[in-house]
Amino acid sequence: MSGDAAGLGKGRATAFVLPALVLITVFLIFPALWTIYLGLTDYRLTGLSAANPRIVGLDNYTGALGDPRFRTSLWLTLLYVGGSAIVGQAGLGFALAWILRSRTGAVSRLVEGVVLLSWILPSTVVGFLWFALLDRDDGTLNALLHTPGFAWLLDHPLLSIIVFNVWRGTAFSMMLYSAALENVPPSHLETARLADAGVPQQLRDVVFPRIRRHVLTNLLLISLWTFNDFTPFVLTGGGPEGRSEILPVYVYRVALRDGELGVGAAISFLILLINLVFALAYLRLLRGRNGRREIAAAGGPHT
């Protein structure tokens, strides 16, 4: 990694990066900075403020932070990201990758297939699928559990969208960890097994040190994506009474339904900052014990 194996040189390397950089500058950085600027104004989609937006400084930010609905929404989002992405997707994804790594049968391929299918189905379609599953009157789930009339989406809205998102997004973590586990030499695991190390011990001592980077990448990406995931809107519309109104839904309501684009832009930037905090936390957690673990890994499975 450190050398320049292909002999790119600065010039050619720049040429390789340039097309992506141009596209990103024009269609990402520029509109993103513009959006952040809008967050400092009282800009609206229609009405008087659409004609003459004024700079209001940090009013949108103080307004949002002072709004109990925003704080509720933030808290719900943290639970949603923690429950569905960090615990759910990453956990289930790793479990699947771990179990499927040594299996090649038809069942394993089928499992892998449906997990991936739930990831690639259009988001507009999956909303209807989950309605059919969780509907209170005669949803498939109530029919299976013999719980007629149980309103999953109304009585447990947050849990419903968490489970939904685990279903929706586990595939990514599964694929990433499958690839990562290929970096773990089977011989090391065999050695550990012979030394009578249980699975948790194998994971901690042999596997984790080798896939730490992938864990970091995975957590960074799925947290960010889940933080910005609008799909639960199709399922609950943020309700009942905002009990599943995660931040992207809150932004949608503020920016599109209420037309307050300035406030919506400010909240988008707040989401960015929160993600930054998440990223720093992950880095600290996973790099903090960097040295010690690496030495342990180099020394073999025994500690």
Partner 1 sequence: MIRHTLGRLTATVFLALVLAFFTLPMLWLASAPFDDTPRITTSVPEFTLNNFAAILDNPYALGSIRNSLIQGGGAAVLVVVLAALAAYALSRVRVPGRDVLLYLLLLLSSVVTGTAAMVPVFELATRLDLIDTHLGVILVVSGGLLPAAIFILKDFMDETPTTYEESARVFGATPLQIMRHIVVPLVRPGLATIAVWALASVWGGFLFQFILLRDPEKAPGSVILYTLYTEGGAPRLDLISTFSLLYSLPVVAMYLFVSQRYGFRFHGGIKA
Partner 2 sequence: MRLSVCLHVLNREADMRSPSRPAVIGAITVLALTSCGTGTDSGGGSVTLTIAANSISGGKNSESADWITKWVIPEFQKAHPNVKVTFQPSGVDDEQYKTKISLDLKSKTGADVIDLDGIWVGEFAQAGYIKPLAEVGGAAVEQWEGWSQIPQAVQGLGIFDGKKYGLPQGTDGRVLFYNKTLFKKAGLPEPWQPTSWQEIIDAGTRLKAAGVPVPIQLNAGTAMGEATTMQGVLPLLAGAGSEIYTAGKWTGDSQAMRDALGLYQQIYGGSGLGDPKLQQEAKGRDKSFARFAEGEIGILAESDYFWRSVVEPTAGVAPMKDRDQVVGYTKIPAKRPGGGIRGQDHVSMSGGAVRVLNPFSKNPGPAWELLAFMHSAAATKSELAGQVRISSRTDVNDEVLTADPMLRYIAEEVLPITAYRPGVAVYPQVSTALQEATAAVVSGGSAAEASAAYQTKLEGLVGGAANIGG
Q: Which residues pair with 55 in a beta bridge?
A: 41
Tokens describing residue 265: 């832009």
Which of 65, 79, 95, 154 contacts partner 2 by CB under 8 A? 154
Residue among 143, 146, 125 at smallest CA distance from 133: 143
Give the amino acid at 149.
Answer: G
The DSSP symbol for 237 reads T
Residues 70-89 binding partner 1 (CB under 8 A) are none
Contacts of 126 (CB under 8 A, 6+ apart): 118, 168, 231, 234
Q: What gap in Å lies between CA 182 and CA 57, rounded to an integer?
A: 51
CA 174 to chain CA mean position, Å? 13
Q: From partner 2, partner 1, none, which one binds at residue 122 (CB under 5 to 8 Å depending on kind)?
A: partner 1
Tokens describing residue 223: 């947290």
Q: Considering only the stretches 63-71, 72-80, 127-135, 293-301, report the one whose residues sit in contact with partner 1 under the rule CB under 8 A.
A: 127-135
Contacts with partner 2: how many residues (CB under 8 A)?
26
Shortest Å distance, C-beta 171 to partner 1:
9
Residues 182-211 binding partner 1 (CB under 8 A) are 182-185, 199, 210
Which of 81, 133, 158, 297 contacts partner 1 by CB under 8 A? 133
The verdict on 48 binding partner 2 (CB under 8 A) reads yes
Give the amino acid at 193.
Answer: R
Residue among 37, 51, 47, 70 at smallest CA distance from 262: 37
Q: From partner 2, partner 1, none, which one binds at residue 36 (CB under 5 to 8 Å depending on kind)?
A: partner 1
Q: Considering only the stretches 111-119, 151-159, 195-203, 266-274, report the one whose residues sit in contact with partner 2 under the rule CB under 8 A.
A: 151-159
- Helices 68-80 and 59-66: crossing angle in degrees, nearest 10, is 70
Residues 270-299 binding partner 2 (CB under 8 A) are none
Q: Which is nearer to partner 2, 91 or 240 (CB)?
A: 240
Length of the chain: 303
Shortest Å distance, C-beta 62 to partner 2:
13
The verdict on 153 binding partner 2 (CB under 8 A) reads yes
Q: Using CA of residue 193, residue 194, residue 198, residue 200, what is the dihedral sign?
A: negative
The DSSP symbol for 179 reads H
The verdict on 28 binding partner 2 (CB under 8 A) reads no
Residues 144-183 binding partner 1 (CB under 8 A) are 144, 167, 172, 175-176, 178-179, 182-183
Q: Which residue has the tokens 């209420």?
A: 258
From residue 130, give the alpha-carbon distance in Å to each of 103, 168, 201, 263. 30, 10, 38, 31
The verdict on 256 binding partner 2 (CB under 8 A) reads yes
The verdict on 68 binding partner 2 (CB under 8 A) reads no
The verdict on 255 binding partner 1 (CB under 8 A) reads yes
Q: Which is nearer to partner 1, 79 or 279 (CB)?
A: 279
Is 211 in a helix, a strand, or coil? Answer: helix
Q: Considering only the stretches 92-100, 149-157, 190-198, 270-278, report the one whose residues sit in contact with partner 2 under the rule CB under 8 A.
A: 149-157
Residues that bind partner 2 (CB under 8 A): 44-51, 131, 136-137, 151, 153-154, 235-242, 256-259
